[in-house]
Structures are given as structure tokens and as C-alpha cells.
Structure 1
Amino acid sequence: MLRLRHDRRSTGARGAAIVDFVLVLVVLVPLVLGILQVSLVLLVRNTLAAAAADGARYAATAGRGEADGAARTRDQIAGAISGRFAQDVSARTVLVDGAPTVVVTVRASVPALGLGGPGVDIQVAGHAVEEEQ
């Protein structure tokens, strides 16, 4: 006849796995959420910078103006991520070393994990030297 032996040492460690899991989870969840937030901010920042540069190049071509560059930037942003990031787009012409240069500036706020709450404010600019006619 087979006798099962009850070991007293195993009864004390029965809940240890749950406690270990919770302790690891308390550290791991904020770390993963932080990485996701940084990734979201970098994605939005890079997209806004690319759209601003494209809008500046578009506005700097012969026959185009600042309004055309700002509109192109808004369209690029709305097509790539979301139109809510294209609310504050401005374009102006400045002189850089005597050359007329179009500067397209985009300001946006990236909410926490894209859901809402306190956001990260981003400002990017794209520059392009105007073509001569």
C-alpha cells in the first residue's frame, strides 16, 4: 500500500508564488507603461517634425505661399496620426543669412498614453529656403 507523506515544509511556501508575482508586477507594470509613453511621444514628435519639414519645402517652392505650407502640414499630420495634433500649425518667412526661409512650426500636446490626462508639450519646426522665381 502506498502511503502519501505530508511534508510540513511545503505548507508554508504555498502562497509565496502569489506574493512574488505581485511584487514583480508592481515594478514591471509602471516600467512597461513608461516605455509605451516614451514610444508614443517619440512617434508623435517624429511625425510632426517630418510633416513640418514637408510643409516648409512645399511652401518654399515657386508659386506657393505660407498658407499652402501650413495646409500641407495639417494634411500630413491628419493622415499620419490624428487631426487633433494639427490644431496649432503656423508658417512664416524669415531671413536666414540673407536668404528668405520658410519656417513651419507645429505645437501639440501628447496625452498620457494617448488616453487623456496631463500631456507632454511638443514643439517642432521645419525650415526650407525659398526658391527664386
Structure 2
Amino acid sequence: MVRGGPGAASRGIRGVGQRPRAGRGVGGPGADAEGDPQRGSAVAEFVMVSAVLMLLFMACLQIGFALHVRNTVQDASSTGARYGALRDRTPQDGAERTREILSASLPQRYAQDVRASVTSDGAQRVLQITVATPLPVLGPWGPAEGIEVSGHAILP
């Protein structure tokens, strides 16, 4: 007996070598009522990929913020050192200027530990402004002993 014949395709009967019609899967483990084992996995995949992408995005933002803090502190200490090295200024004026710049750019806690000192480099006297700030690890929070940067300027 030959399988098939008129109307066989509409009754779901296949001949030898014929493929199943599109949209109809073969039942098996994990298959739903319609027999499609992949049905519904797009939602789970979207959630998992979105979570990984969100973590990656947040890590990039955190690294960017840490670099912003470091660069701002470095610039403020250098500017304060140059300001304090002016002929009519003192090293404490340079430290105060550094605090003002940091307070205007970053949260107040980043401007708490600013020190000024005068050192010598051969025959030159050098003003050194040192700033110790927390390193932001999780948002703006981090260990208190995070980074320490210094700015230098030659005194007249």
C-alpha cells in the first residue's frame, strides 16, 4: 500500500522522504502543548542578556566616575600648587584654593584631606599640595584611604 494520495497532506500523512510542514514540531522532552521545544525561551534569554548588559554598563559608569574623581583631584592639586606659588600667596592659600575647586566639582568628603608642604629640589623650593581622597568603588562610596595625588609648583 502506498502512503499519501489525494488529501493525505491535509490529514497529516506523509510519504517517505517528505519533510514535516513548517510550524509543526515533533513532540519530545520540554515540548509544550503545540510541540515546539523552543517556545518561550526568547523571554528568558532577553532577561538574562539584559542583566549581563546592565552589569557591564554599570561597571563602565563606575570606572568612568573613578577616573573622573582621580583626574579632578589631580587637576585641583596642580592648580592649587600653582596658585600657592604666586609671589603674593602662601602655601595655605594654595591648599584652600584646592579645597574650593574640589568642593565645587565633587562631593564635600573628597576635599577633607588637603595638605600643603614646602620641599626642596636641589636649589629650588617646591610647593607640594597633596590630596588624599576615597576611591569610589560602589557609586560615590569607597574606602577612605583610596587615592593620594600631589601637585607641585616652584616657589619664587
Both proteins in one fold, TM over 0.5: yes
* Distance (whole Å) between structure 1 residues aligned to residue 145 and residue 136 of structure 2: 6
Equivalent position of 1:99 in the other structure = 124
Q: Which has the higher contact order (CA 8 A, sep 6+)?
A: 1
How big is the shift at 1:84?
A: 1.4
Q: Which has the higher strand share?
A: 1
How big is the shift at 1:58?
A: 0.7
How many residues matched?
A: 127
Equivalent position of 2:49 in the other structure = 24
How big is the shift at 1:57?
A: 0.4
1:116 counterpart SS class: coil
Provide the alpha-carbon RMSD of the alignment.
Answer: 2.3
How big is the shift at 1:130?
A: 0.5
2:58 counterpart SS class: helix
Equivalent position of 1:79 in the other structure = 104
Q: Write the letter of the residue equivalent to 2:155.
A: E
Instruction: Give 2:63's match in structure 1, choosing from 38, 44, 54.
Output: 38
Q: Structure 1 residues 42, 58: closer, same or farther in 2, change over 3 A? A: same
Equivalent position of 2:134 in the other structure = 109
Q: Structure 1 residues 22, 49: closer, same or farther in 2, change over 3 A? A: same
Equivalent position of 1:90 in the other structure = 115
Length-normalised TM-score, structure 1: 0.83
How big is the shift at 1:115?
A: 4.6
* Distance (whole Å) between structure 1 residues aligned to residue 144 and residue 84 of structure 2: 30
Where structure 1 has 5 or more consecutive residues not aligned to the other structure, the ranges are none
* Distance (whole Å) between structure 2 residues aligned to residue 70 and residue 117 of structure 1: 24
Length-normalised TM-score, structure 2: 0.72
How big is the shift at 1:91?
A: 0.6
Q: Contact 1:41–1:120 at 8 Å: present in 2 too?
A: no
Seq. identity, %: 39
Is the radius of gyration larger for structure 1 or structure 2?
A: 2
